[in-house]
Each structure stands twice: as C-alpha cells, then as structure tokens.
Structure 1
C-alpha cells in the first residue's frame, strides 16, 4: 500500500475528529510521523482543499470539502432508494430496460438498473461506465453543465460508434436541444443498434444530480415510440426529484433550467 497516501488519510481523519485546530507538532506526535513529512503532507492537503490553515498559520483543520464528499455519497444512496419504485413502474410502462446514472467527469456511472423482460434488450452492469456524450443519461446531465465546461469538453470528444456526436458545433447544438426539450436521445451512439431516451433528475436547488433513462434495440425506438418514451422518462425523473425534495411535478425541470441560466450568467 502507498504509505504516503495512508499517512495523508490518517491526517484527514485526525483533523476531522478534532474539535479544534491542531498544530504541526501535535499532528506529528499523534501519528508518530516526522514533522518534516507531516508538513509536506499538510501542504498538499491544503492545496487540494481538504485541510485549511488558520490565519495565524499555527493550526490546521479539516475543510468543508469532507462534508461535501460525504453528502454526495449519501445523496447517491438516497437517490437509489427513492428511484427504485419509479424505475420499476417505468420498466412496466415501457417494457424496456431502465437505468439510473450519475455523472463522473466525462463518464456516466450506472448506479441502478431494472432489466426489461424482453429477451432482446440492452445490457449494462451496475457500476459500469460509458462515455457521457454517447448515452442518453449522460447527455441529459451534461446539458446542464456550465457553458465553459461544455466548450472544453467539445474540443476533445471521441467516438464509440460511427453515429457518435463528436463535432464540437453539433455537440453544443445537441446540448441546447436537450435543455430546451427536457430529455435526451441516444441513437446508436454508444452501441450500434442500441438506442436510449433519458431525462435529468434535479435536487431541491435545481441542480441536476442524476438521470433516468430507457434503452433497448433500435428497432423498438422508432420516432413515435421515442416521443412516448420521452414523456415517460420526464415524468419518472420528476417523481424521483419529488422524493428527493425537488419540488412539485412541474417544478423540477424548470428549477434545473433556471439554475442553468444563473450559472451561464
């Protein structure tokens, strides 16, 4: 195991459980580590914003970033629990596989799924990943990121299939379309002959935190079906948002849109 990493984590744990700032000498004594080593680790942790140094420079405390990370983990656990029932209903209404995804930089992570009863269906694995710009759940979340982030991402898109959208201008147009209509569509962009439809899930502050979507063989995702599926995923996304404190049925997506406008300003 990486000893430097272990020592750094021990410092974070020590500071997190302390009810007051701790000095360099005190931290070194608690951990049985040389002060020079502790000082280097503290400098790195301060730069990464896991630790803050008081104004006098004599003590160190754990930062609010630990709370943010813990809250993110808890929200994912709550998200899965709240979403499960609505995902089951969505599968029954559509007969297609249902996925719940969160965004991790340029990829989606599948945190839950409900498989279609159809023998021919889309296959994914909980904990699996996919390029966000190539799948419907990913597009549904990416569309609500700040413009500067999307511009940076647009410059380095890679293709998974011949239908993947990698042209920067076309990608940005796609993001605007998703924001406007409230749902995203994948037309064989991650796996050939596999399509998907997804909608964003927002929290009580209008921040998009996840997406729920349907996926299946392209033969079952004709234009009229996509339109019907879009209504189903939007309804499911709003219902899940309500369970997470995201407001009333018609408010969740509008909150997300308003939040996006505020960020862009």
Structure 2
C-alpha cells in the first residue's frame, strides 16, 4: 500500500466532510501529522486540482474535480436525474438550453444540461468548467459565497474574456450585492460575446445556496424583453429545485 497516496486521500476526505475550509494546523491536528507534512499534502492536492486555497491561502477546501471525473465515468448520477425533469420543463418553456451548475473554486461546473431544440444553440457538455465571473451561473454562486468573494484580488483585474467581462473586483463586488438583493444574474456576452445566460440560486434546507440553475443561448435572442419574459420561468425552476432540496416554501 502506498502510504503517501493514502495520506493524501485521507486529507481529501477530511476536506470534503468539513463544514468550512480548513487550515494547515487543523488538518495536521485532525490527521496526526506535523504541520510541514500537512502543508505538503495540501499543496500536492492543490497542484493536482483536488483542493483550492481560500482567502489569503491559509485555508483550503475541495474542488469539484472528483465530481467532474465521476460524471465522465458514470455518465449520469442522482443529482442529474433529480434535476433533469425540472430542467426539461424550463428548456421547453423558454426554448433555450437549461442547466444546473455548482461552484468549483473560481469556476463553475455544469452537472446537468438539457439542450435547446434550436439549430442555433449553446453546446455545453456535462462536466464542463467555465470561469465563474464570466457566467450568469457563476456570478450567482459567487454572490452568495462569502468565502469565494473574499478570494477576489484587490490589487489586480480578473481575466477579461470580452469587452463586456466584469474584470474589476470592485465592480464585480457591486454586481454581487445587486444579485443578492434581486436573487438572479444575467450575462450578456461576458465570457463569449455570442453567448448569454440567465441564472438563479438553488437553496437547501438551511437556506444555503448549493447550486444555480438557469438558461443560456445566443446573445441575439437574449434581448431585454426576452429576459423579462423568461425570468419568472427561471425563478420558478429555481424554487422547485430548492423545495426538492428541503428549502422552506
């Protein structure tokens, strides 16, 4: 048995079960390791993409890499099957591709997709990861995740994908405040100019945001009038998924 590999897997399991990000000292104490050893294991998990530093880098939490791998291996899963009927209705009611997404550090992972029947539509694969600050799904998740919002740098801009990308941290934080109040986010060409999206949060029984759901499609179809028409349908889908997760009505 490879003891080093086993140690890394046990630390990953510890991070996965922890209710909040853990520091090096906490990991060392929980695992019975010296701090230098715990730090080395954590850095290895970060380098491999299984963990990510939070805030100033002193605390760590797991990424969704294992989930993404599981989706690719299994091709389906309980969460996807659970969301599929709701997303199918949302797709049929709006005509656009419907999705369910989870936050994965500074990216979002799309865990279920119901594709539009339009010839011109968004093609996103289950398990795909996109930069969170450039998508409606990601902005919703970042807006409701205090730890994730703290990761935003104060001294430099974020990556700019199109002229419409919100790459200024101060502007993005202001956007997050707006999203928390209205409880929805829109993206009009912020990651790819030709692609836009609309997303809302999905809550669990403790009123924590655990996912986002919504629609995406060609920017030319995401005009203000269309967004206004679709928003109640997207909100309804988010509320339905939240109720299924035990959120209060």
Q: What TM-score does the superposition give when structure 1 sets the normalisation length?
A: 0.67
Distance 1:191 1:7, change over 3 A: same
Check conservation: 2:11, 2:27, Cα contact below 8 A.
no
Q: How much has 1:157 moved relative to structure 2?
A: 1.6
Per-residue deviation at 1:152?
3.5
Asked if the contact 1:154–1:171 (Cα under 8 Å) also holds between the matched residues in 2, the reply is: no
1:246–1:81 distance in 2 versus 1, CA, 3 Å: farther
Residue deviations 1:13-58 (CA, integer Å, cap 9, x gap): 9x9xxxxxxxxxxxxxxxxxxxxxxxxxxxx9975369355xxxxx
- Cα separation, 2, equivalents of 1:11 and 1:137: 31
Query: 1:109 aligns to what?
Result: 109
How many pairs were matched up?
200
Deviation at 1:5, TM superposition (A): 3.6
How far apart, CA to CA, are the structure 1 residues paired with 2:105 and 2:6? 27
Residue 30 of structure 2 is aligned with which of 33, 51, 56? 51
**What is the alpha-carbon distance in structure 1 between the residues aligned to residue 237 and residue 112 of structure 2?**
14
SS at match of 2:108: strand
- 1:83 maps to which residue? 83
Contact 2:134/2:190, CA 8 A, preserved across alignment: yes
Output the aligned Cα RMSD: 3.1
1:206 aligns with 2:207: yes
1:51 match: secondary structure? helix
Q: Tell me how far 1:154 sits from its aligned partner.
A: 4.8
8 A Cα contact 1:197 1:214, kept in partner: yes
Q: Mind listing any 5+ residue stretches in structure 2 that lack a counterpart?
A: 15-22, 33-60, 68-75
Q: Unpaired runs of 5+ in structure 1? A: 16-43, 54-67, 249-265
Q: Secondary structure at the match of 2:233?
A: helix
Q: Which has the larger radius of gyration?
A: 1
Per the alignment, in what secondary structure is the counterpart of residue 151 of structure 2?
helix
How many angstroms apart in 1 are the aligned matches of 2:29 and 2:165?
38
Q: Do the aligned partners of 2:103 and 2:138 also contact (CA within 8 Å) in 1?
A: yes
Which deviations, in whole Å up to 9, do the C-alpha atoms of 1:167-207 show, x marking residues without a partner?
A: 12211111111111111000101111211000010100011
Q: Does the 8 Å contact 2:200/2:235 carry over to 1?
A: yes
Cα distance in structure 2, aligned partners of 1:119 and 1:239: 28
Residue deviations 1:40-88, cap 9 Å, x none? xxxx9975369355xxxxxxxxxxxxxx98xx97xx9543232111000
Match of 2:195 in 1: 194
The CA deviation string for residues 77-124 of structure 1, in whole angstroms up to 9 with x for no partner, is: 543232111000000000000111000110000111000000000111
Q: Is the 8 A contact 1:45 1:51 kept in 2?
A: no
Look up the SS of the partner of 2:152 in the other structure: helix
